[in-house]
Amino acid sequence: MSLPRHPSYDLVVVGSGPTGSAYVREVYDRHPTARILLLDAGPRLTDPPGTHVKNIADSAERARAQRASEGPGPAGRPGTRLLEAPDLPAAALSTNVGGMGAHWTGACPRPGGGERIGFIPDAEMDAHLSRAEQLLRVDAHAFDHAPFADEVRRRLAALFDAGRPPHRRVAPMPLAVTTRSDGAHTWSGTDVILGRAAADERVDIADRCLCLRVVLDGDTATGIVVRDLATGEERRVSARAVVIAADALRTPQLLHASGVRPPALGRYLNDQPQIVYAVRLPDDVVAAHRAVTGRTRDEDGAIVAQSGVSWVPYTDAHPFHGQVMQLDASPVPLADGTDVEPGAIVGLGWFCAKDISPDDRVEFTDTAADARGLPALRIHYRYSDRDLAAIEQAKEAVAEAGAAVGIPLDDSPLLLPAGSSLHYQGTTRMGPADDGTSVCDSHSRVWNTRGLWVAGNNVIPTATACNPTLTSVALAVRGARALLAHLDSTAERSTPAAQAGVGTA
């Protein structure tokens, strides 16, 4: 469908990625009569909607789905388009039902130390993280049998584990993936988060449907204005609650277009500098593995469809997040022409926590529009002196980790262009008080605007190094609790469900 079927809903969610879908699922599960609209400016790629593209078996179909997600403009990595922002040259976005949840790596580490949000009690946040892991079907052991995974972790643990608490030691990376009975894997997209909600008549999913602005009645959000991108037709849709979950760049853009402009809007833009390095395991380790398993390289190539992924957690003493991936089981020729045992090539990626500044921001103008008529944006972003120092420390740390694992294949660690992580955060950050440094409260409610929530990595207020999706879904779970209370508090009004004879809230 394109334009929504009904003129009014209990809840409208703009943006169908992991956090928007988490709001839908939580309200669907806990409010048995709520009518919900989930809309996205991009197309449906799959049936059911929101399926991860890795689960599309046919390579040509998978490539078509990725191209359909990119939209106009130069392509970034598959499924995304580059913004061509000089200060953040690798910045890229996807536009499709499921958002980046259709393309992400599935890494779901829990934040630790300074990555945690100090004004949310630990017990509450841990409960939200556990619920997020359920919604995403997180499994830390899906690839435990990947070649050499144990050996890689043993070597990393010998370097990093001393003095760490058990839950912050080297471990398999928690991944949003399900192991099937045949041993194959299904990656979690937003179809997994939505569950039965995606096929229920109480939930409408509108694709190719652009939200132009939030409708306000004084200080209360009462709905949205949408445009069918196929026909150009526009319509106003009423709602008792609105969630904007359109990513860290388009969420503040939409608030700006709606006249919701708290001082922190678009500020505190936070990416994660990313350093990469590659090594190969020593020949004696490979030979010992072959002797024990009896496998040849070709057999491994047939058996192992995905490499092992290991995790070096962030700590305040080691303020980097390490994501260690053994290359997929395909032949990798070395410079001398020697083929490498699958799993013996190890890629190390170290992510830094950015020095957060209000000057790093996405800025909007009322005098120019983008291709879809929303306020044009410009990104301002730079590395501070502390960032540059942290990047050098991360290069030293990843080189040390590489030396512990094996034989370097790169001359030195490489800093990827700014924006490469795709982990953009902070532009509608939450805070404990409305003091001008945040856009929403700890339950993601926009300050001074009743009935309006924001969602996504953009609400994370801390300097994180770990992959942010699990944290942002946990914050969506937290926000949904407050949203449900809002729906209950407005139950005395005539609801869309009641008007349609479905029931009362």
pLDDT tens, residue by residue, 53-93: 999 999 999 999 999 999 878 889 999 999 999 999 999 99
> Is position 443 annotated as part of the catalytic site?
no
In three-state secondary structure terms, 469 is: helix
User: Could you report the per-residue pLDDT of 483-496, keeping only the tens digit for each?
Assistant: 999 999 987 554 45
pLDDT tops 70 at residue 339? no
Confidence of residue 313 (pLDDT cuts 50, 70, 90): very high
Answer whether residue 274 shows pLDDT above 70: yes
The one-letter amino acid at 7: P
Looking at every residue in the chain, the average pLDDT score rounds to 91
Strands (E), 107-233: 138-139, 171-172, 175-179, 185-187, 203-206, 209-217, 220-228
DSSP per residue over 301-334, as a string? HHH-SS--EEEE---SSS-EEEEEEEPPSS----
Residue 308 has pLDDT above 90, yes or no: no
Query: Per-residue confidence at 498, pLDDT binned at 50, 70, 90?
Result: very low
pTM flag (> 0.85)? yes
What are the DSSP calls for 366-415, one per residue?
EEEE-TTSSEEEEEE----HHHHHHHHHHHHHHHHHHHHHSEESSSS-EE
Residue-level pLDDT at 108: 98
Q: Is residue 253 predicted with pLDDT exceeding 60?
A: yes
Contacts of 170 (CB under 8 A, 6+ apart): 153, 156, 157, 160, 161, 310, 311, 312, 313
Per residue in 101-142, pLDDT tens?
A: 999 999 999 999 999 999 999 999 999 999 999 999 999 998
Note the pLDDT of residue 287. Answer: 74
**How far, in Å, are 9, 450, 499 from residue 238 at the CA level?**
6, 14, 13
* One-letter amino acid for residue 502 of the chain: V
User: Among residues of the chain, what percentage have pLDDT more than 90?
Assistant: 81
> Could you say which of 52, 321, 423, 486 is catalytic?
423
Query: Is 479 in contact with 472 (CB distance < 8 Å)?
Result: no
Query: DSSP for 50-101?
Result: T--GGG--SHHHHHHHHHHHH-SS-B-STT-EE--BTTBTT-EE--STTGGG
pLDDT in tens, 204-233: 999 999 999 999 999 999 999 999 999 999
